[in-house]
Amino acid sequence: MLKWPDVLNLAKSGNPAPDRKVVKTDAEWREQLSDEEYHVTRQAGTERAFSSEMCSLFEPGIYSCLCCDTVLFDASEKFESHTGWPSFTQPIKDNVIAYRFDGPAFLKRIETICNTCDAHLGHVFPDGPAPSGLRYCMNAVALQKAAKV
């Protein structure tokens, strides 16, 4: 189970190798994604808070990266954060998400990126529920929900 010191260490020292890499040109991403999806995932944008029904979905299933289909989260790790974005406590595997510092160093804000295709997903914060204490605050537009595998 990842905890905040682990996330800080990964952002500082480097991320684990992904199982696979997906690399596409900017033109290929633009062709595949809507304008909003492209803005969020390829340009590190943020969707409007409370703009997705995904925030209130709490049924079994898995969530994968919209860009490359990499499985990122299990719905059993999803919780109501009241922030306006879907929130999770842990990724499905330690190597599916990459971490990097985002913004001024004093904030210690950590950006979360799909480790397979480098899509911007959101951020992770140390204010989530026990036992991990993590809150993966994700842009719903960067995720797609699938049936439980």
Active site residues: 137
Instruction: State the burial class of residue 4 (Cβ atoms within 10 Å of its Cβ: 0-12, 13-18, 19+).
Output: middle
| Residue 34 in tokens | 């809507």
11 SS3 class: helix
Amino acid found at 77: E
Residue 12 neighbours by CB distance under 10 Å: 11
